[in-house]
Amino acid sequence: MILRLILGALVSTAALVAAIYTSGGTVAPLPTAAAAAFVVIAPLGAALAAFGAAGTLGAFRSACSSRLRSLDEAEAGAADAAFVLLSRATAAAAALGFLLIQIMTMYDLEDPSAIGAHLGYSLSPAVIGAVVAACLYAPLRHSISRKALAAAFEAPSAAAGKAGDGSATRSRLRFLLGAGLALAAVSVIYVAFWGGRLFPLLNPPSVIMMLFFPLGNALAGPGPSGIAVSLGALRQGDYGSASVAGLRYAKASFRYLAASSMASGGIAFLTGAAYFLQGLGDRMRYGPTMALALVSLAIAALFSLCVGLPLKAAACSRLAVLDKRP
Amino acid sequence: MTDEERSESLLRAYYARRIAEAEGRARAGRTASIPGGRLPRAAAGAGRLRPSLPDRPSLRDRPSRLDRPAVTFVLAAAAMAAMLAIAAAPGGRPRWSDSPGGLIASIDSRIGMTGLPSALEVIRDSLNPPREKGASR
């Protein structure tokens, strides 16, 4: 888990940095490190106040243990509460950082050229906080649910391929056709309104951000085995042989992937907005920064519409059917 | 036999059964957990429990083949390489502002830099039509 977490966070962070550089921006290490320290240390203080050092470390230990063993309910609940608090405290710290930098800006109002830079920098705690929550606390929380539903990983994988092949094929076909229809609708309307320009959706910084940031999150969270188990549970759910634990895990896993994609869009939007504000007055910077913000968010919404929401809803519906079965 | 002795004897038998079950599960490659505490150790002293049993990873504890470090490394390295390839590709830098057909030029041609103020003026004028000279109140 620790290796997947570190490599996943590395891929996601590298995606954000690459998106910033390809959109023409630069990252200032010292202010970034200061903002990062603030949004990491302040929430840890809140966690220490709530759970103490032993409770906070215990939550990290429960999530990072490499063994896929069942956590008991109390242990899973305590660890989950710790990561929920850390995520929310990170959001609060990001808001506080934004306000503090805005208040500092008020001392420099006599220099109009500094206002844009300060406004842009004030968004950095929010960007870094969202990255920390998406790359650290969300995967750790997912790891807790993975351990609590460890039975999902005991389902015989061979059964998914044997019985009900026709049903599984129909399910895949239905998913591909549905997602294709949604994609086609978006493309046709976009092309019709934008006079044939579909290319802007392939803006390289946005593609890097929206392809590799969620990929890093997926690696840190469910990982290849978790995704395989989730898809297997959906296939098995088609002919009623999925386990409740399998479908619950699939639901948690697809919810994680959909949230990760939307978080990537949000982070890209905030980053684009920050660099747009920093470059106020330089008209050549408007296009790349706006593109990073808007195109990335558009890709996130498109992914959510075509892939994230249907997969999560499919897991929910199969789980509802299974729960009602006597 | 006193009540306390009887109670301890029953507990000892219970834990011995649990430990035997755990050993059976571990032999079958399934999850094995044994209760801790004084009594089980006493049962272990009777030769029913091997000390190595709790540390033996069960089937459930083994990571999946897809979660092996090598697979994780390969995936992360492939992602980083693909990212670098996209960033370094010719035309990787966006051309929104500096190309005549870019997005900014297109926005300029459609709404223009004065588009928004003009639209606001139209709305303001429609809400408060300018009065003609000499119009009565």
Nearest-CA distance from A227 to chain B in Å?
A: 10
- Contact assignment for A215 to B66 by CB distance below 8 Å: no
Higher pLDDT pick, A233 / A164: A233
pLDDT at A152 > cutoff 60? yes
Nearest-CA distance from A195 to chain B in Å?
A: 10
Nearest-CA distance from A319 to chain B in Å?
A: 23
- Contact assignment for A288 to B59 by CB distance below 8 Å: no
Task: Band the pLDDT of A138: cuts 50, 70, 90.
Answer: very high
| pLDDT, position A158 | 46
At A239, give phi and psi (nearest 5°).
-120, 25
- Contact assignment for A225 to B66 by CB distance below 8 Å: yes
- Residue pair A220/A8 in contact (Cβ under 8 Å)? The answer is yes
| pLDDT, position B107 | 47
Query: Which residues of chain B does A67 touch, with a Cβ-Cβ cutoff of 8 Å?
Result: 57, 61
Closest CA in chain B for residue A18: B87
- Residue pair A5/A140 in contact (Cβ under 8 Å)? The answer is yes
CA dihedral sign of residues A67, B77, A311, A139: positive
Enter the tokens of residue A323: 């729960």
Q: Which helix (H) or strand (E) holds A168?
A: helix A165-193
| pLDDT, position A284 | 74
- Contact assignment for B63 to A68 by CB distance below 8 Å: yes
Enter the tokens of residue A303: 């992914």
Q: Which helix (H) or strand (E) holds B49?
A: none
Q: Which residues of B111-132 are buried (b: 16+ CB within 10 A; e: fewer)?
A: eeeeeeeeeeeeeeeeeeeeee
Q: Which helix (H) or strand (E) holds B127?
A: helix B115-127
**Averaged over A6-16, what is the pLDDT?**
91
Distance set, CA A321 to CA A144, A173, A242, A251, A324 (Å): 25, 21, 11, 14, 5
Interface list for chain B against chain A, based on CB atoms closer than 8 Å: 31, 57, 59-67, 69, 71-73, 75-76, 79-80, 82-84, 86-87, 89, 91-94, 96-98, 102-104, 106
Task: Band the pLDDT of A266: cuts 50, 70, 90.
Answer: very high
- Residue pair B26/A183 in contact (Cβ under 8 Å)? The answer is no
Query: Which residues of chain A does B63 touch, with a Cβ-Cβ cutoff of 8 Å?
Result: 66, 68, 225
Higher pLDDT pick, B132 / B2: B2
Judging by beta carbons within 10 Å of its beta carbon (0-12, 13-18, 19+), is residue A309 exposed, middle or buried? Answer: middle
Please state which of the ranges A108-117, A234-243, A258-267 shows the lowest mean pLDDT.
Answer: A234-243
pTM above threshold 0.90: no
| pLDDT, position B101 | 43
| pLDDT, position A24 | 80
- Contact assignment for A225 to B97 by CB distance below 8 Å: no
**Residue A195: strand, helix, or coil:** coil
Domain that holds residue A300: 2-324
Among B115, B133, B134, residue whose Cα is nearest residue B123: B115
pLDDT at B58 > cutoff 60? no
pLDDT at A195 > cutoff 60? no
**Amino acid at residue number B134:** G
**Averaged over A134-148, what is the pLDDT?**
88
CA distance A66 to A10: 19
- Contact assignment for A204 to B65 by CB distance below 8 Å: no
**Averaged over A252-271, what is the pLDDT?**
92
Q: Crossing angle of helices A244-278/A112-122, nearest 10°?
A: 170
| pLDDT, position A116 | 80
Tens digits of per-residue pLDDT, A61-113? 888 876 666 567 777 888 888 899 999 999 999 999 999 988 888 887 777 77
How many separate domains does chain A show? 1
Query: Which residues of chain A does B94 touch, with a Cβ-Cβ cutoff of 8 Å?
Result: 22-24, 203-205, 287-288, 291
| pLDDT, position A32 | 85
pLDDT at A43 > cutoff 70? yes
Tens digits of per-residue pLDDT, A207-224? 889 999 999 999 998 888
- Contact assignment for A153 to B60 by CB distance below 8 Å: yes
Query: How far from the centroid of its chain's Cα atoms is residue A2's Cα?
Result: 18
Closest CA in chain B for residue A212: B79
pLDDT at B53 > cutoff 60? no
- Contact assignment for B94 to A10 by CB distance below 8 Å: no
At A313, give phi and psi (nearest 5°).
-65, -35
CA distance B99 to A127: 30
Task: Band the pLDDT of A137: cuts 50, 70, 90.
Answer: very high
Task: Band the pLDDT of A263: cuts 50, 70, 90.
Answer: very high
Enter the tokens of residue A71: 């956590």
User: Of the candidates A8, A200, A219, which has its C-beta nearest B103's C-beta?
Assistant: A200
